[in-house]
Amino acid sequence: MSVSLKIAVFGSSSISVPVFEALRKQFEIALAVISDEPHMRRGKTIINPVQTWAEAAEIPDLNGTMVPADQLAAVLHAKAVDLLFLLSYGK
């Protein structure tokens, strides 16, 4: 049974992806918020795994470190998010 609940997920590491995917099977994920942009490590571009997952699942994403708090709150309100779910967010 699925509950009608809109969730915004906050995460940055690969450990978040399977948990967020499990949530997506039961609930609507309205937004994925990440905390870092792609960067270089040992000559390779490292892309945020949560951002990669969100884009593949066609879930809107944004970088929470680049958006002022009032703007993030406005986006969450506009998307009528019911619940914030945070897992492995930040550095």
Q: What is the pLDDT confidence band of residue 1, given thresholds at 50, 70 and 90?
A: very low
Question: Mind listing the pLDDT tens digit for each residue in 35-59?
Answer: 876 666 788 777 789 999 999 999 9
pTM for this entry: 0.87
Looking at residue 17, its pLDDT comes to 97
Spatial separation of the C-alpha atoms in residues 30 and 75, rounded to whole Å: 10
Q: What is the pLDDT confidence band of residue 87, given thresholds at 50, 70 and 90?
A: very high
